[in-house]
Structure 1
Amino acid sequence: MRRDTFLKSLAALAATGGLPLSALAATNVKMMIPANPGGGWDTTGRALGKALQEARVADSVTYDNKGGAAGALGLAQFINSAKGDPHAMMVMGAVMLGGIITGKPPVSLSQVTPIARLTSEYNVFVLPANSPLKSMADVIAQLKKDPGSVKWGGGSRGSTEHIAAAMIAREVGVDPAKINYVAFRGGGEATAAILGANVTVGGSGYSEFAEYINAGKMKPIAVTSGTRLKGINVPTLKEQGINVEIGNWRGVYGAPGITEPQRRALTEMVLAAIKTKAWQEALQKNDWTPAVLTGAAFDKFVDDEFASLRATMVKSGMV
């Protein structure tokens, strides 16, 4: 959407009283990233911010990284500081849902405003390059022998890689409660732990590990997709006899207490951003699959995801 067209739509809303006239001023977007720098949420938030500016629906974007508790710390800060702000956004996704289920924080996604699901991505499990283990079969053999000796490194508790590790354990006959999972606040910390061989096996979105895999610093041993990822020669868990498939999605929410017209305006801004060259380049660079969903369909999706993840996590012994 061209900026002049976007501003005309805002003007129409303002004329009907549905939007404050201040919305017609320069748009300075505040992007809450509820994770430390270097991970998927950070990359997503900054790519979206760049696209918002390229689409000329934002004059500037400021970023606030607040990692911890699977995004719950950032969520709490967003709820407390952004109430009623029509230009505030927060990156979120499946990891936050899982973290809320396991951590039961005093804040909830129901307190903020759904805007859009943006992307989907599958995880990859990797070994440090100098690991004595060479394959997922080796990891499973060690897991069966001594579950606690296998340190799984990844995102916060309740992340998709955490859930996948628990599901893998259950599928191979190991008590999921016995897995030794090391949670990190951001992708940068997890990457450093894997490169330093401080964990046995690491998990994350493929894009976060791609440069290290390509450089031979990490050895990929499995992906969590149903079929092999396009252009990536890494076997799925299912190919290796482990019936586990789980994906990761990311989206964006608006502040608490914004009006329905303000929610629609934010949605239009995001939809304009994802049409830009900058966003398309980010999709390609990070191997993200477009998975755009807005409005009531996104609301229902999040509700359904909460129910599905909770059921999976209960079955895997995580809650």
Structure 2
Amino acid sequence: MRRRRFFALGLGAALLAGCGTEYAATGTVGPWRTRGRFAIGAGGDRWARVAATLVRCARESGYAVTSQTPVTKVTVTGLPALAAADMNNGLSLLDTATPLARLTGDVEVVVVPGTSRFRNFDEFGAYLVAQPDQTKLAGGRQGGPDHLLFGLIAKGLGADARRIDYTGYRNSAGAATALLGGKATAAAGALADWRPSIDGRQVRVLAVSSAQRAAGLDAPTLLEQGVRVDFADWCAAVGPDSMSDDSRAAAIQMCDDVCGSRAWQDACRAGGWNPIPLSGDDFEKWLTSEIDRTRAVLRDLGLLDTPGTTCWGSCGNGH
């Protein structure tokens, strides 16, 4: 049985009150079909582009996207929302919204300056294991995808993740400045963000986070380096916690149709996103494992000290 409760953090407000970035039609949109009406919005600025693309491709697939009630609300959110909920003692995404479909994922890269003494991932990994507190790492904000990736790498190598020296920056530009300025030994981030520096040979890629090598990039995967990590900064579509079974089914069908369309595939290529479609019960099962993995990494990093509890904000013990 799906668990659906009130969304405690900002995403819930977006779902129920229409906060965040919402894209609505004014008047008739596309070839209207008997498929339901949808209001599609972003759970935060970082997902605004994907949400806008979902709106456009849904309309091109014949779906009505409008702000006129009644509508089925769909919100685009992603991995950072999982970590933020846990670090703020909030309810998990499974407990606060209705999972619909996974949409896209950004491949992450581990990079070092072009002049780094680390010629490959093995050399970097050996140093990280031997001196985790002396290996200065950089990436996005603390607890975000880049930080989580370094936590997974440390655990995979057998290093003490609590001892790694990580500095989070607002964006990849800040991390790049730190890395090239000698303030960091290595950095992690989305491949699309680091492409200019990679192409300009300012940085070298030691490994990619995906199970398969990235197209056009001569760099091994973490799996090839013996680190059992397959990781992406993903985003997904979810509905409100009060979503009916009929509305859920209609929204999942919309996501499936859009993700299978040529327009969506073309938009993903243009946006530098990897389409990783997964919907319905399969997505909910995957999301359960992703929540568990995220919590485990946050604990390994020392960002989540709560022992294995299942109430997560719904009890009176401050969990």
Q: May I ask how many residue pairs the two structures share in their alignment?
A: 273
How far 1:125 sits from its partner (Å)?
0.7
Q: Does 1:116 align with 2:101?
A: yes
Q: Which residue of 1 aligns with 2:35?
A: 9
Query: Aligned pair in 2 of structure 1 residues 57, 209: CA closer, same or farther (>3 Å)?
Result: farther
Q: Which residue of 2 aligns with 1:47?
A: 53
Please say if residues 30 and 59 of structure 2, whose CA atoms lie closer than 8 Å, have aligned partners that are also in contact.
Answer: no
Report matched runs for 1:115-264 at 5 Å.
Answer: 115-129=100-114, 131=116, 133-140=118-125, 142-144=127-129, 146-187=131-172, 189-190=174-175, 193-194=178-179, 198-240=183-225, 242-248=226-232, 249-264=234-249
Please say if residues 99 and 157 of structure 1, whose CA atoms lie closer than 8 Å, have aligned partners that are also in contact.
Answer: no
**Larger % of helix: which?**
1
Equivalent residue for 1:34, pick from 36, 39, 44: 44
Q: Does 1:277 align with 2:262?
A: yes
Please say if residues 85 and 258 of structure 1, whose CA atoms lie closer than 8 Å, have aligned partners that are also in contact.
Answer: no
Distance 2:186 2:52 in 1: 28
**Identity of paired residues, percent?**
25
How far 1:124 sits from its partner (Å)?
1.0
Q: Which residue of 2 aligns with 1:75?
A: none
Does the residue aligned with 2:229 lie in a helix, a strand or coil? Answer: coil
Please say if residues 47 and 278 of structure 1, whose CA atoms lie closer than 8 Å, have aligned partners that are also in contact.
Answer: no
One-letter identity of the residue aligned with 2:230? I
* 1:255-296 deviation line (CA, Å, top 9, x unaligned): 343433333333333333324433212333456443322222
Please say if residues 166 and 318 of structure 1, whose CA atoms lie closer than 8 Å, have aligned partners that are also in contact.
Answer: no
Query: Aligned pair in 2 of structure 1 residues 145, 243: CA closer, same or farther (>3 Å)?
Result: closer
Report matched runs for 1:83-102 at 5 Å.
Answer: 86=71, 88-101=73-86
Does the residue aligned with 2:35 lie in a helix, a strand or coil? Answer: helix
* 1:208-245 deviation line (CA, Å, top 9, x unaligned): 322332233332111123453344210223444x4231
TM-score (norm 2): 0.68
Q: Which runs of no fewer than 5 residues in structure 2 stay unpaired? A: 1-28, 305-319
Query: Aligned pair in 2 of structure 1 residues 121, 196: CA closer, same or farther (>3 Å)?
Result: same
Equivalent residue for 1:297, pick from 256, 275, 282: 282
Does the residue aligned with 2:220 lie in a helix, a strand or coil? Answer: coil
TM-score (norm 1): 0.68
Q: Does 1:105 align with 2:131?
A: no
One-letter identity of the residue aligned with 2:34? K
Query: Aligned pair in 2 of structure 1 residues 281, 310: CA closer, same or farther (>3 Å)?
Result: same
Query: Aligned pair in 2 of structure 1 residues 197, 46: CA closer, same or farther (>3 Å)?
Result: farther
Distance 2:288 2:90 in 1: 18
Name which of structure 1's ranges 302-311 and 184-193 shifts more when overlaid on structure 2. Answer: 184-193
Please say if residues 225 and 236 of structure 1, whose CA atoms lie closer than 8 Å, have aligned partners that are also in contact.
Answer: yes
Distance 1:267 1:168 in 2: 34
Q: Which residue of 2 aligns with 1:70?
A: none
Distance 1:218 1:235 in 2: 15
Query: Aligned pair in 2 of structure 1 residues 192, 86: CA closer, same or farther (>3 Å)?
Result: farther
In angstroms, what is the RMSD of aligned CA positions?
Answer: 3.6
One-letter identity of the residue aligned with 2:35? S
